[in-house]
Amino acid sequence: MTVAAEPRHPPVCAEAQDLRILPIPSKSDLPLNGDLNNTSSMRVVLKPERHPDFAYRSLSIPASMDEPTIRSRYRPFLLPDNVQQQDWVSKLELATVTELAYNDLRITGERIRVLILYGSLRRRSYSKLLAFEVARILWRLGCDVRVYNPQGLPVKDDDQHSHPKVQELRDLSRWSDGHFWVSPEQHGNLTAVFKNQIDWIPLSTGSVRPTQGRTLGLAMVSGGSQSFNTINSLRVLGRWMRMFTIPNQSSVPQAYTLFTGEDADEGGSRLMPGSNRDRLVDCAEEFVKYTVVMRPHFALFGDRFSEREPLAMN
């Protein structure tokens, strides 16, 4: 009886027979079993299918359907139609996440509501410019994006809870499904302007954080070499506020060299092509994916054994 020869690389599981799954590398591609580039410990990974109809599609809210007061107050990132339809954001191939966001919108009838905070009062603030770029990507992906302007927010105290800027910030946070934070780095950490905004968001309502269960995306800018101090501090804040911070993050070094001039193409003050811009797109894309997955279950995240009244035993 002839015995069939064993395949050189038998699949580690039945799923590996699926043509949608990334192929297992050949033996010549698997020489390493150390700390770097270890392919022997790789898990079988599904390759998402991408539908060309969604590759460059925009899910943004048409001007005719957008509330004028919201648009003028919270969407300073919007560009004229002729620019917006031809800029670099419009040319991003985002088939997978666009289809996911489209189906979520079709099923729920609700757009993902995103509050964006930045941490500087300078007119040409690079954290603000980066926040605007994030906003444009999220806007294209169908999110209802609102950018809070920290100008006029008083320094945190225990007396001005009724201040209009405080109430505005708290209302936006309560409204949101997720936050995206962008802070400059100063003296090796986040700025007072940014932290002041976080401090005005109430710490708790009873035993529940007002931000509990929301998703959080993070980015930072610095004037020198790349740093992660501010990003790390933002992660600590997000964890303390019981938010789900996405794994990816964006740190833009020497930010003053990476934005176009105010009178340049595509509306001016745009993030230049390169790995920093690509990473920012990754973060926005990942933020939407996580929010779509988690938003239907927000209520579950505040349900904890230590705080529940036990049900009666049968």
pLDDT of residue 31: 54
Match 């990003």 to its residue by tokens: 231
pLDDT of residue 22: 53
132: enclosing H helix or E strand: helix 126-140
pLDDT of residue 16: 40
The full set of domain ranges for the chain reads 55-295
pLDDT of residue 8: 41
* Average pLDDT of the residues of the chain: 89
Is the predicted pLDDT of residue 209 greater than 80, yes or no? no
pLDDT of residue 314: 82
248 CB-contact burial (10 Å; exposed 0-12 / middle 13-18 / buried 19+): middle
pLDDT tens readout for residues 102-126 = 999 999 999 999 999 999 999 999 9
Is the predicted pLDDT of residue 79 greater than 90, yes or no? yes
Looking at domain 55-295, its CATH superfamily turns out to be Flavodoxin domain (3.40.50.360)
Work out the pLDDT band at 6, boundaries 50, 70, 90: very low
Work out the pLDDT band at 224, boundaries 50, 70, 90: confident
Work out the pLDDT band at 3, boundaries 50, 70, 90: very low
Lowest mean pLDDT among 78-92, 194-208, 258-272: 194-208
DSSP codes joined into one string, 250-302: EEESSGGGSB--TTSSTTSS-BPSSHHHHHHHHHHHHHHHHHHHHGGGGGGGG
Q: Which residues pair with 216 in a beta bridge?
A: 179, 245
Tokens of 44: 């079988």
pLDDT of residue 37: 73
Residues above pLDDT 70, as percent of the chain = 88
pLDDT of residue 166: 97
Tell me the C-alpha distance between 122 and 106, whole Å.
Answer: 40
pLDDT tens readout for residues 262-311 = 999 999 999 999 999 999 999 999 999 999 999 999 888 878 888 888 99
Cβ atoms within 10 A of the Cβ of 79, count?
A: 18
pLDDT tens readout for residues 7-58 = 444 443 444 444 455 555 555 555 566 777 777 777 788 888 999 999 999 9
